């Protein structure tokens, strides 16, 4: 009987050790969502648009990976870090150029592996050049001498790509750029200037929200040009993760599109696809 009691005690101790090890292994992974079309970062003004529910993806990953996944919403990694919202960064999903910009600022090495398809199946976005509806400009080369509102340097579609477009079309740009952080700010500046010669560069994904949210009235502005397409929502993993865990996370995210509920939640046609696939489509 004494031997049996001793054996049971040993088994209990082993059980405690194993349980402790499992608990330690289940330290939550942090997924930072910076997608501007995520519900907490957008507005519910347009039905069925810009209300992506990444919480469902977080729950799906928790089950697939076998570890809790904490979802943190933020427009910026820099801001999230400064507000102490993040202890670790394991997964980041957001606008490609913005994630890369912020990761560089906070010195957080990340690696891109997949892009989210929209309802149209595309993984890209572009910048749109807007003028007032009654402006005399009909094409981008007519904008010489105009006051132009660009987006921040982190947003390729309304900064880098826009500068390249203006240069290609012979439009002179002041060395000191006028920057509007939000697309709504730039659009409102053009409307508010009235008869003044002005144009704004906004993100293509933001266009439906400007009128839908009542920022501008329908017909206030019109598009006279658009930039080349640039990558949109991209999934990254931290380079500090061990290789095996990184592969498990990547595979789980790539296979999330096989779940209809996830596609609906992320307003996506095919879910996330490998970057190599998106580049191949672009070449073809």
Domain ranges of the chain: 25-123+232-283, 126-230
Find, among 62, 54, 5, 88, the residue nearest to 272 by Cα: 54
Contact of 159 with 151, CB cutoff 8 Å: yes
**Residue 99 Cα distances to 42, 130, 134, 155, angstroms:** 17, 26, 37, 10
Backbone angles phi, psi at 101, to 5 degrees: -60, -50
Q: Do domains 25-123+232-283 and 126-230 have the same CATH topology?
A: yes
- Work out the angle at residue 219's Cα, subtended by the Cα atoms of residues 217 and 225, and round it to the nearest 5 degrees: 120
Domain 25-123+232-283 - what CATH class? alpha beta
What pLDDT shows up at residue 23?
Answer: 37
What pLDDT shows up at residue 9?
Answer: 46
Contact of 46 with 39, CB cutoff 8 Å: no
Residue 246 half-sphere exposure toward CB, CA atoms < 13 A: 16
Domain 126-230 - what CATH class? alpha beta
DSSP class per residue in 87-112? S---EEEEEHHHHHHHHHHTT--EEE
What pLDDT shows up at residue 25?
Answer: 54
What pLDDT shows up at residue 284?
Answer: 43
Contact of 155 with 203, CB cutoff 8 Å: yes
Contact of 200 with 187, CB cutoff 8 Å: yes
What pLDDT shows up at residue 84?
Answer: 82
Six-digit token pair at 69?
A: 């996944």
Six-digit token pair at 222?
A: 């019109």
What pLDDT shows up at residue 83?
Answer: 84
What pLDDT shows up at residue 19?
Answer: 38
Residues in the chain predicted with pLDDT less than 70, given as ranges, are 1-26, 277-284
């Amino acid at each position: 009987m004494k031997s049996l009691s001793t054996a049971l005690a040993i088994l209990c101790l082993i059980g405690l050790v194993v349980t402790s090890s499992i608990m330690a292994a289940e330290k939550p992974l942090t997924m930072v969502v910076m997608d501007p079309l995520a519900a907490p970062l957008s507005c519910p003004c347009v039905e069925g648009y810009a209300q992506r529910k990444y919480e469902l993806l977080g729950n799906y990953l928790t089950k697939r990976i076998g570890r809790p996944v904490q979802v943190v919403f933020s427009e910026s990694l820099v801001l999230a870090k400064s507000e102490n919202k993040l202890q670790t960064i394991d997964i980041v999903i957001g606008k490609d150029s913005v994630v890369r910009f912020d990761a560089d600022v906070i010195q957080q090495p990340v690696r891109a592996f997949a892009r989210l398809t929209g309802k149209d199946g595309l993984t890209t976005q572009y910048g749109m050049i807007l003028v007032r509806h009654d402006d005399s400009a009909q094409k981008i080369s007519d904008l010489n001498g105009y006051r132009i509102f660009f987006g921040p340097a982190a947003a390729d579609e309304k900064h880098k790509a826009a500068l390249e477009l203006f240069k290609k079309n012979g439009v002179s740009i002041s060395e000191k750029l006028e920057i509007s952080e939000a697309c709504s700010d730039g659009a409102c500046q053009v409307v508010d200037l009235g008869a003044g010669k002005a144009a704004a560069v906004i993100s293509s994904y933001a266009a439906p929200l400007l009128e839908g949210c009542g920022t501008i009235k329908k017909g206030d502005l019109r598009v006279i040009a658009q930039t080349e397409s640039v990558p949109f929502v991209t999934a990254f993993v931290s380079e500090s993760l061990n290789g095996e865990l990184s592969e498990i996370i990547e595979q789980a995210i790539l296979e999330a599109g096989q779940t209809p509920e996830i596609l609906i939640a992320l307003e996506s046609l095919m879910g996330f696809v490998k970057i190599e696939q998106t580049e191949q489509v672009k070449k073809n």
